């Protein structure tokens, strides 16, 4: 593998669920020099289930392939096992970096992409593996898209009942408080990482991507050291052609990637959240909101303070009950 050239380094889009990561992937996937498949947790699988595996030992690679090809998500991507095996067979030594690179090379081959096409990944959980990715691919490029947590929770409570980042606690995101905690977790992965710098990391605002699409994409392509491609501005016209979103993932999840940028998705929380919900999120994520340039109204009456603390207490009680070993055992017995 040759990842030395910056304009050939793998690309990783990272961010919180419902923050525009898929939209950005679809846009970049329209670029003639790039190919970014729908998400598949290959990095997470390698660093959890197969963390200590020696892929050069007899039977280990087959066990790994059996596992990943048993998943519906990989089957949706239509990467034939034979293609993946053929690419892997050309490698002298199998390690995690080789397997990840070979997987994406197999994806490119399965789609008959031109030789030299640069691959990228957008899988939500990879934000927890920045150090591991940099160890595998020292010249990797990270594009971090961030969206106002108050808008994120509006979207999460519609689509996601619960969510767990790797290396983190599970939260119940049908509740806006759970969604806010998940957003804080994603920000913590960035804030505590000392290996990110101006050469390998760029932050993109979701609202800017929507409102100033061309300007943002010019910054991103400059960061990636590739020419600007105007086709990206009409990503929604090409989305069906290039099969960027598997059919089962469109309805209810990614239908907006088939439309021009949706201005009404910015600051939607002002219409959808009540005053106490907003104040609760502001209380929880005040520092992260301010650090990312979002406005925060910290004015609270005594009633507000009591209501916010009561809502937090109620959420944590709910979460603790849901996660109680005894409660889960009773539930499993009943089920």
Q: What is the pLDDT of residues 114-123, one digit of tens each?
A: 877 899 999 9
Q: How far is CA 242 from CA 37, 159, 218, 246, in A?
A: 10, 25, 22, 10
Q: How is residue 104 annotated by DSSP?
A: H
Question: Between the CA of residue 189 and those of 81, 82, 196, 216, what are the distances in Å?
Answer: 33, 36, 11, 23
Would you say 232 and 47 are in contact if contact means Cβ atoms under 8 Å apart? no
Looking at the DSSP assignment, which residues form a beta bridge with residue 144?
14, 203
For 106-171, the DSSP string reads HHHHHTTPPTTPEEEEE-GGGGGGHHHHHHH-TT-EEEEEE--HHHHHHHHHHH-S-B--TTS--B
Which are the contacts of 21, defined by CB distance < 8 A and separation ≥ 6?
A: 13, 14, 15, 122, 124, 145
Cα–Cα distance between 93 and 314 in angstroms, integer?
53
Question: Contact at 8 Å (CB) between 182 and 173?
Answer: yes
Tell which phi-psi region holds residue 203, choosing left (phi > 0), alpha (psi between -120 and 50) or beta: beta
pLDDT attached to residue 114: 81
pLDDT over threshold 70, residue 243:
no
Residues of the chain above pLDDT 90, percent: 73
Burial class (CB in 10 A: 0-12, 13-18, 19+), 26: buried
Chain-wide mean pLDDT for the chain? 89
> Taking 50 as the threshold, does the pLDDT of residue 95 lie above it?
yes
As a whole number of angstroms, the longest Cα–Cα distance in the chain is 67
Mean pLDDT confidence for 74-102 = 92
Q: Where are the beta strands (DSSP E) in 227-284?
A: none
User: Taking Cα atoms as reference points, which of 299, 259, 257 lies closest to residue 278?
Assistant: 299
DSSP 203: E
Beta-bridge partner residues of 122? 13
Q: Helix, strand, or coil here: 328? A: helix
Of 140, 62, 145, 144, nearest in space to 104 by CA: 140
Is residue 252 scored above 70 in pLDDT? no
pLDDT confidence tier of residue 325, bands split at 50, 70 and 90:
low
Give the sheet arrangement for strand 118-122, strand by strand. 34-35, 118-122, 11-15, 141-146, 201-205
Convert the pLDDT of each residue in 154-185 to its tens digit.
Answer: 999 988 889 999 999 999 999 999 999 999 99
Asked if the model's pLDDT at residue 93 lies above 50, the reply is yes
How much is the pLDDT for 2?
47
Res. 227: pLDDT tops 90: yes
- Structure confidence at residue 248 (pLDDT): 53
- pLDDT per position as a tens digit, 280-320: 999 999 999 999 999 898 888 999 999 999 999 999 999 99
What is the Cα–Cα distance from 102 to 106, expressed in whole angstroms?
A: 6
Q: What's the pLDDT band for 244 if we cut at 50, 70, 90?
A: low
Q: How confident is the model at residue 67 (pLDDT cuts 50, 70, 90)?
A: very high
Cα distance between residue 285 and residue 323, in whole Å: 23
Query: In a 10 Å sphere around its CB, with 0-12 CB exposed, 13-18 middle and 19+ buried, how is residue 238 labelled?
Result: middle
């Amino acid at each position: 593998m040759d990842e030395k050239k910056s304009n050939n380094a793998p690309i990783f889009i990272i961010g919180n669920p419902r923050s525009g990561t898929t939209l950005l992937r679809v846009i970049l996937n329209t670029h003639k020099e790039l190919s970014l498949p729908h998400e598949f947790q290959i990095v997470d699988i390698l660093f959890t289930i197969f963390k200590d595996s020696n892929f050069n030992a007899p039977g280990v690679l087959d066990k790994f392939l059996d596992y990943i090809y048993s998943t519906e998500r990989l089957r949706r991507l239509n990467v034939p096992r034979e293609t993946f095996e053929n690419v892997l067979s050309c490698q002298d030594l199998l390690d995690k970096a080789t397997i990840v690179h070979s997987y994406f090379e197999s994806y490119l081959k399965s789609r008959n992409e031109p030789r030299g096409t640069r691959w990228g990944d957008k899988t939500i959980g990879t934000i927890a593996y920045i150090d591991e990715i940099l160890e595998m691919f020292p010249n990797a490029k990270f594009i971090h898209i961030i969206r106002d947590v108050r808008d994120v929770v509006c979207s999460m409570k519609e689509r996601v009942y619960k969510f767990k980042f790797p290396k983190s606690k599970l939260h119940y995101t049908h509740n806006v408080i759970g969604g806010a905690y998940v957003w804080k977790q994603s920000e913590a992965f960035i804030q505590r990482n000392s290996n990110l710098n101006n050469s390998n990391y760029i932050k993109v605002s979701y609202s800017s991507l929507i409102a100033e699409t061309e300007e943002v994409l010019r910054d991103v392509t400059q960061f990636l050291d590739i020419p600007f491609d105007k086709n990206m501005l009409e990503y929604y016209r090409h989305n069906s052609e290039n099969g960027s979103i598997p059919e089962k993932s469109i309805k209810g999840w990614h239908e907006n990637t088939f439309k021009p940028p949706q201005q009404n998705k910015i600051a939607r929380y002002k219409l959808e959240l009540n005053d106490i919900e907003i104040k609760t999120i502001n209380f929880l994520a005040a520092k992260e909101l301010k650090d990312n340039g979002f406005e925060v109204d910290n004015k609270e009456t005594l009633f507000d303070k009591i209501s916010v603390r009561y809502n937090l207490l109620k959420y944590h009680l709910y979460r603790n009950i849901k996660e109680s070993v005894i409660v889960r055992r009773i539930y499993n017995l009943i089920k």
